[in-house]
Chain A
Amino acid sequence: MKLTIGYLYGDLMNIYGDIGNIIALKKRLEWRGIEVEVRVKSQESRVNKGEIDLYFFGGGQDQQQTLVASDLESSGKGRIIKEEVERGVPLLSICGGYQLLGEYYKPHNSQKLPGVGIFPVYTEASHDRMIGNIVIDSMFNTLVGFENHSGKTYLKKGAIPLGMVKTGFGNNGSDKSEGCIYKNAIGCYMHGSLLPKNPKLADWLLEKALKVKYGKEVKLAVLDDELENKAQQIAVSRFG
């Protein structure tokens, strides 16, 4: 078996330690003897349907985020990724990546920037910087991470949050929701990195990817996650 991970704009959206998610996905496949390839998909690259089995999209700086927003639209990559998500291809997006995959982003003093429209959410710039450790309850049980954003994201009617905030701000600091889940795509504000300390979520993404690619349920071999779980528990006991 083999999975190809598409690291969206890995050269531009890479300053919040989100590469730890790529490292975690890659290692958790290698430890199980499953072949893995990571392809960075950036401004000059094309994405073909069926080429990528799992997408990852991290957070970046404002200037880079603007570049990426226009490339997603002009290169047609946004449209292809949306179609792939509809087909069930799993995706994890964080912070800036999450915002760009929503319906739109409204900056302070200018017009709305259209998003890819995978998640039924929209984001508005705010003057509050929401920074700190975050702990949420979700369908993957507890998830821990670190958030650092000023954009406030609101779920539209029918949108399903990834989870509910126990500690921290989450989507907007007011409605207790954090992130969004649509089919097998997840968007959220959780850096940390997220997947190393939340191995259940990492394995869920991998199982979905294998299922879509090979057309049948694939049971992943059990790994020794003692260190992963302990790091999570300690974060929960300190911040939760």
Chain B
Amino acid sequence: MRTTLAIILGKLIAYSSKLLNIGGGSTAPGLYSLKIDPKLIEKLSAKIPTNIVITGTNGKTTTSRLISHFAASQGLKVIRNHTGSNLERGIASTLIQVAPQQRFDLGIWELDEAAFNLVVPKLNPNLIVFLNVFRDQLDRYGEIDSIVNNWGQTIQTISKNTKILINGDDQNLAVLKKGFKGKVQQFGVKDYKIVGEGLSHKREKENLDFEVKNVQPKGLNGSIFQLTINNELLTINLPLPGIYHIYDFLAAFSAGILLKIDPKQMILSLKNFSPAFGRVEKLDFGYIFLIKNPAGATQVFETIAPLLKPEDRLLFALNDNLADGTDVSWIWDADFEQLKIENLKLKIVASGTRANDLALRLKYSGFDPKNIIIEEDMKNALKQARKGLKGTLFILPTYTAMLKLQGILTKSGIKKHYWEES
């Protein structure tokens, strides 16, 4: 009775928030329904035969989306939490919207670093994927060591039949192998390891279960690389740029193998994969790359730096809202120096609530302040950046700045509402 009531209330909230156009109803229904029935997630997720959980600092949304794409291409019916709502209430909201009438083969749940410990015991997943752990919003999540320790404690309490997949190149995750009673499998890229905030070449050979090799980058078009599965060498043409996307692919692909999805079908289906909003979003005048922490931002800089031309422009947007982290110190740990544009005289627009901090970071990484326009308002910033643009505009926003940008682009008819995208 309690559960039914919780579901009905949740559906009502979702319906009215959609009707009133006040957001896609991606968290509020779950929030209130959980108050009525705290066991809602356990009950509803138990009806799904296979559940997988994805966590880590960077790449959760892209990885979830890839697994979902792989599974759907095999005809599996997938349910997952959308649009970055990776807290307990986001999971509950998703489950409520489809209960009780629909049936699913696979549930894919992305959980943020903190929600993981709360929700994993309730979901009782068949597979957990740990992507990476970097410094991110220390004001919210705390330090890396304590994040990994908490994950370690959580996986000690779950069934040893749960399959665990970790990024073998992230040395911070290695302790998870010790704490878990069951089997842990590892994925990674040959000759790379993740140190501190970035990637570097590794000295010793890791024992990887899924290993990518022979990486050839193709700029913004992605990269080509190889992988051996069942003694067969497969070549993959990934349409997402940057080494960090190879890791997201590899996590999703390895998960797909463990879920017994045909590897060749997965590779074929990449042709019509489109990334999540803001993570490498292609617009007709440029690209959007989400930046939200030092490691992620540095990886984006590494990806775009070799491609920048003198007629291109950069629009950075740094907000300090709760969802971005209120501490903007992290921009000093991000390797802006990678952009190496001193000699290119690129025009740069710095925007967002902390536009001045950004401009200062750019000045100290070698950019000429004369070429930096400071415009806190995103709408005006975008206008300034596009005015007389001859090359490509690279837009690099933090999370809430990206949502704001999405709104601006939607109003001008360039993008759909994000909650309408799947």
Q: Does A4 have its Cβ within 8 Å of any Cβ on chain B?
A: no
Residue of B nearest to A15 (CB): B135
Q: Does B206 have its Cβ within 8 Å of any Cβ on chain A?
A: no
Is the pair B359, A146 in contact by a Cβ cutoff of 8 Å?
no
Is the pair B331, A17 in contact by a Cβ cutoff of 8 Å?
yes
Interface residues of B in 325-368 (CB under 8 A from A): 326-333, 356-357, 359-361, 363-365
Query: Among the listed B329, B359, B360, which residue makes an inter-chain contact with A16, where contact means beta carbons less than 8 Å apart?
Result: B329
CA gap between A27 and B366 in the complex, in Å? 9
Q: Which residues of B contact A63 (CB under 8 A)?
A: 145
Is the pair B329, A20 in contact by a Cβ cutoff of 8 Å?
yes
Q: Does B196 have its Cβ within 8 Å of any Cβ on chain A?
A: yes
Is the pair A231, B364 in contact by a Cβ cutoff of 8 Å?
no
B-facing mask of A104-148, CB < 8 A → 1, else 0? Answer: 000000000000000000000000000111000000000000101
CA gap between A53 and B144 in the complex, in Å? 32
Q: Which residues of A contact B326 (CB under 8 A)?
A: 131-133, 146
Q: Does B369 have its Cβ within 8 Å of any Cβ on chain A?
A: yes
Is the pair B329, A17 in contact by a Cβ cutoff of 8 Å?
yes
Query: Size class of A's contact patch?
Result: 20 to 34
Q: Does A197 have its Cβ within 8 Å of any Cβ on chain B?
A: yes
CA gap between A20 and B145 in the complex, in Å? 22
A99 to chain B, nearest CB (A): 15
Q: Which of A81-89, A155-163, A188-196, A203-211 contacts B (4 or more CB under 8 A)?
A: A188-196
Query: Among the listed B333, B360, B363, which residue makes an inter-chain contact with A19, where contact means beta carbons less than 8 Å apart?
Result: B333
Query: Among the listed A19, A61, A191, A226, which residue makes an inter-chain contact with B145, where contact means beta carbons less than 8 Å apart?
Result: A61
Query: Among the listed B143, B144, B332, which residue makes an inter-chain contact with A196, where contact means beta carbons less than 8 Å apart?
Result: B332
| Secondary structure dominating the interface of B | helix
Is the pair B329, A192 in contact by a Cβ cutoff of 8 Å?
yes
B-facing mask of A199-240, CB < 8 A → 1, else 0? Answer: 000000000000000000000000010111011001000000
CA gap between A110 and B187 in the complex, in Å? 40
Is the pair A191, B327 in contact by a Cβ cutoff of 8 Å?
yes
Q: Which residues of A contact B196 (CB under 8 A)?
A: 14
Q: Which residues of A contact B333 (CB under 8 A)?
A: 14-15, 17, 19
Q: Which residues of B contact A193 (CB under 8 A)?
A: 329, 332
Q: Does B139 have its Cβ within 8 Å of any Cβ on chain A?
A: yes
Q: Which residues of A contact B357 (CB under 8 A)?
A: 197, 231
Interface residues of B in 103-154 (CB under 8 A from A): 135, 138-139, 143-146
Is the pair A146, B356 in contact by a Cβ cutoff of 8 Å?
no
Is the pair A196, B360 in contact by a Cβ cutoff of 8 Å?
yes
Known: A62-B143, A230-B356. A15 touches B332 (CB 8 A): no
B351 to chain A, nearest CB (A): 14
Known: A146-B327, A148-B139, A196-B364. A19 touches B356 (CB 8 A): no
CA gap between A141 and B174 in the complex, in Å? 47
Is the pair B145, A17 in contact by a Cβ cutoff of 8 Å?
no
Q: Which residues of A contact B356 (CB under 8 A)?
A: 227, 230-231, 234
A214 to chain B, nearest CB (A): 26
Q: Does A40 have its Cβ within 8 Å of any Cβ on chain B?
A: no
Query: Among the listed B138, B139, B360, which residue makes an inter-chain contact with A15, where contact means beta carbons less than 8 Å apart?
Result: B138
CA gap between A146 and B332 in the complex, in Å? 13
A33 to chain B, nearest CB (A): 16
CA gap between A16 and B197 in the complex, in Å? 12
Is the pair A227, B138 in contact by a Cβ cutoff of 8 Å?
no
CA gap between A232 and B330 in the complex, in Å? 17
CA gap between A230 and B139 in the complex, in Å? 25
Query: Among the listed A23, A24, A148, A234, which residue makes an inter-chain contact with B138, where contact means beta carbons less than 8 Å apart?
Result: A148
Residue of A nearest to B357 (CB): A231
Interface residues of A in 4-54 (CB under 8 A from B): 14-20, 23-24, 27
CA gap between A148 and B330 in the complex, in Å? 13
Q: Which residues of A contact B365 (CB under 8 A)?
A: 23
Known: A196-B360, A231-B357, A231-B360. A146 touches B329 (CB 8 A): yes
Interface residues of B in 230-264 (CB under 8 A from A): none
Residue of A nearest to B134 (CB): A15
Residue of A nearest to B325 (CB): A146
A224 to chain B, nearest CB (A): 8
Query: Among the listed A15, A18, A224, which residue makes an inter-chain contact with B144, where contact means beta carbons less than 8 Å apart?
Result: A15
CA gap between A20 and B294 in the complex, in Å? 13
Q: Which residues of A contact B143 (CB under 8 A)?
A: 15, 61-62
Residue of B nearest to A224 (CB): B369
Known: A15-B333, A193-B329. A24 touches B139 (CB 8 A): no
B292 to chain A, nearest CB (A): 14
A-facing mask of B285-307, CB < 8 A → 1, else 0? Answer: 00000000010000000000000
CA gap between A61 and B148 in the complex, in Å? 13
Known: A15-B135, A131-B139, A146-B329. A20 touches B364 (CB 8 A): yes
CA gap between A197 and B327 in the complex, in Å? 14
Residue of A nearest to B144 (CB): A61
Q: Which residues of A contact B361 (CB under 8 A)?
A: 20, 196
Can you spell out 18 A-B residue pairs with CB atoms less than 8 angstroms apart? A15-B144, A16-B329, A17-B294, A17-B329, A17-B330, A17-B331, A18-B329, A19-B332, A23-B364, A23-B365, A61-B143, A62-B143, A148-B139, A148-B327, A191-B329, A193-B332, A196-B360, A231-B356
Please provide the 3 A-B residue pairs with the shortest distance between their CB atoms, ordered closest to farther: A17-B329, A20-B332, A231-B356
Which residues of B line the A interface, CB within 8 A?
A: 135, 138-139, 143-146, 196, 294, 326-333, 356-357, 359-361, 363-365, 369
Q: Can you name 18 extra interface pairs (CB under 8 A) apart from A133-B326, A146-B329, A227-B360?
A: A14-B333, A16-B138, A16-B329, A17-B294, A17-B332, A17-B333, A23-B365, A24-B364, A62-B143, A63-B145, A146-B326, A146-B328, A191-B327, A192-B329, A196-B364, A227-B356, A231-B357, A231-B359
